[in-house]
Amino acid sequence: MKRRTFLGGFAASALVSGTASLSWSQTAAKRLSMPPLIDATKSHRVRLEAQKGRSTFSGPSPADTWGFNQPFLGPTLRMKTGQTTQTEVRNSLDEPISVHWHGLLIPGEVDGGPHQPIAPGATWQPELPLSQRSATAWYHSHVHGATARQVQMGLAGVLQIDDGQDDARGLPSDYGVDDLTLVLQDRRFTRRGQIDLSLSMPDRMMGYLGDTILVNGQVGAAAVVPKGMVRLRLLNGSNARIYTLALSDKRPLQLVATDSGFLDQPISLKTLRLSPGERAEVLVDFSNGRDVTLTSDHNPNTGMMGGMMGGRRQQTGRFSVLPFAVDPTLRARIKRLPSDLGGSRPNGDATSATWRRLSLDMPMGMGMMFGRDDRRFSINGDAYDMGKINFHVARGAVERWTVSADMMMHPFHVHGVKFQVLSENGRAPQRHNTGWKDTVLIDGSVDLLIRFDQPAPPNAPFMYHCHILEHEDGGMMGQFTVG
């Protein structure tokens, strides 16, 4: 059996031991670039084209990739609260895609899930009416059965909702200077430098894990930051990898926003767990002028199957996600931590809410594990069926959902809503789960309080699913209507 060295490609700079950090002048690392910004806050228009391209990652030869308006991944879209953005998505690929606006509170008809495929050569023109407040959302393909592969190829990007209050909140907002957009992903590459899309048995069961970390589609790059407060908008755009983020010199990550918006006040964290589909906005204080590296612990999601599935999942120790180098000539606008972010409001009353229980189920039986049945994953025993509506929710209702998982952890996501975590395994939610969420890592049993304000008719229902994309494609998904 071939053994891989984890992150072997840049192991020398990647392995962070305690206080070690990269100095910008000393490294040969290239400077991290941001995705191009499409600011639709004035034009109210966004044009995306899904296209083929070639991208050079770590290997000597370029890989075939897909992207929106560029070879790999897509631009950052900025849209304004209170406005409707006219969007146009052209599919110049050879197979159907869809574009789901993950985190937007918009009607089912424009949600971009499996019921709104865009045929090759076709253009989809949804109008996106936004009334929600500032949040970092994202967009990605969501064609049933092909989401994992299409996202691997590059069909994903970040979407920022801007309510115009960032200055009043005292937050950095200078795109790419003190406000960095960071898409975290992992990939494996074949000998010939292509993205390795093959799924091993552990990949099928527990989701795809790569051995190379990409930030904004780049391998081995370093971010350059001003000597002040810097905002990091983190998206875990990986298919299955869970990051446990920290800074190499133990300085805190100040959490200011979770998936669907701001907290009341910053929460100081030593480590931040970010599962696939989740976003977090953190502030990092660079005013001491010292370089530091954002690191992660290895994927913790071995579950009960870890032992059976071989050593690859048993990795320990931290690895580098992104080195930061301070450039004192850059303008640092914000020097101190804001105190009032004006965030959370309760979703309603939990006691009178309709109660649903959802169990995220792994395949049972050896035959299924060897891929003979593609309906291997399910929720409450039902594998996803596009022709079946799993339940109906009254518009405006508030519901309590108890979501449970025992074999391994699953990042659970619901379309068209934001929710609050009421409790995790009967206890108060972990601190990073106390804000507005649309995706939450289920480890045991988690209670959510969800309010359903957006309509979703039977021909355009909302999805709820595991955001390990191999699980989603494998059937760990359901759909509901709201009306």
137: nearest Cα among 171, 93, 103, 166? 103
Residue 32 CB, shortest distance to Cu ion, in Å, is: 27
Residue in 312, 415, 432, 437 binding Cu ion, rule: CB under 5 A: 415
| Binding of Cu ion by 274 (CB under 5 A) | no
- Cβ density class 378-402: b for 16+ within 10 Å, e for less: bbeeebbeeeeebeebeeeebbbbe
Residues between 73 and 132 with contacts to Cu ion, criterion CB under 5 A? 102
In this structure, the chain runs to a length of 483
Which option in ligand C2O, Cu ion, none does residue 474 bind, with CB closer than 5 to 8 A by kind? none
Structure tokens at 378: 């399910």
| Binding of Cu ion by 376 (CB under 5 A) | no
Stretch that binds ligand C2O, among 75-83, 215-223, 322-330, 459-467 (CB under 6 A): 459-467
Which option in Cu ion, ligand C2O, none does residue 437 bind, with CB closer than 5 to 8 A by kind? none
Which option in Cu ion, ligand C2O, none does residue 451 bind, with CB closer than 5 to 8 A by kind? none
Q: In terms of CB distance, is 350 or 369 closer to Cu ion?
A: 369
Residue in 102, 144, 149, 312 binding ligand C2O, rule: CB under 6 A: 102
- Cβ density class 64-86: b for 16+ within 10 Å, e for less: ebbbbbbbbbbbbbbbbbeeebe
As a three-state string, the secondary structure of 271-305 is: CEEECCCCEEEEEEECCCCCCEEEEEECCCCCCCC
- Mask: binding to ligand C2O, 142-181, rule CB under 6 A, as x and -? x---------------------------------------
Interior angle at CA 78, CA 73 and CA 326, nearest 5: 75
Dihedrals phi, psi of 180, to nearest 5 degrees: -100, 135
Stretch that binds ligand C2O, among 77-85, 246-254, 350-358, 460-468 (CB under 6 A): 460-468
| Binding of Cu ion by 241 (CB under 5 A) | no
Q: In terms of CB distance, is 189 or 452 closer to ligand C2O?
A: 452
CB 397 within 8 A of CB 347: no
Residues between 130 and 149 with contacts to ligand C2O, criterion CB under 6 A? 140, 142
Q: In terms of CB distance, is 169 or 465 closer to ligand C2O?
A: 465
Which residue has the closest beta carbon to Cu ion? 466
| Binding of ligand C2O by 241 (CB under 6 A) | no
CB 293 within 8 A of CB 322: yes
Q: How buried is 330 (Cβ within 10 angstroms: 0-12 exposed, 13-18 middle, 19+ buried)?
A: middle
Residue 414 CB, shortest distance to ligand C2O, in Å, is: 8
3-class DSSP state of 223:
strand
Residue 121 CB, shortest distance to ligand C2O, in Å, is: 25
Which option in ligand C2O, Cu ion, none does residue 465 bind, with CB closer than 5 to 8 A by kind? ligand C2O
Total residues interacting with ligand C2O, rule: CB under 6 A: 10
| Binding of ligand C2O by 100 (CB under 6 A) | yes
Interior angle at CA 96, CA 92 and CA 97, nearest 5: 80
Which option in Cu ion, ligand C2O, none does residue 410 bind, with CB closer than 5 to 8 A by kind? Cu ion
Residues forming beta bridges with residue 421, ordered by sequence position: 448
472: nearest Cα among 388, 405, 374, 389? 374
Rounded Cα distance between 405 and 395, Å, is: 28
Long-range contacts from 4-7, C-beta under 8 angstroms, 24+ separation: 4/211, 4/312, 5/211, 6/211, 6/298, 6/315, 6/319, 7/211, 7/212, 7/213, 7/319, 7/320
Stretch that binds Cu ion, among 30-38, 45-53, 329-337, 471-479 (CB under 5 A): 471-479
Residue in 195, 463, 476, 482 binding ligand C2O, rule: CB under 6 A: 463
Q: Could you tell me the CA-to-CA distances from 417 to 340, 451, 462 in Å, in that order? A: 24, 7, 9
| Binding of ligand C2O by 226 (CB under 6 A) | no
CB 36 within 8 A of CB 28: no
Residue 329 CB, shortest distance to Cu ion, in Å, is: 40
Which option in ligand C2O, Cu ion, none does residue 466 bind, with CB closer than 5 to 8 A by kind? Cu ion
Q: Which residues form the interface with Cu ion (CB under 5 A)?
A: 102, 410, 415, 466, 468, 471
Chain contacts with ligand C2O (rule: CB under 6 A)? 100, 102, 140, 142, 277, 413, 415, 463, 465, 467
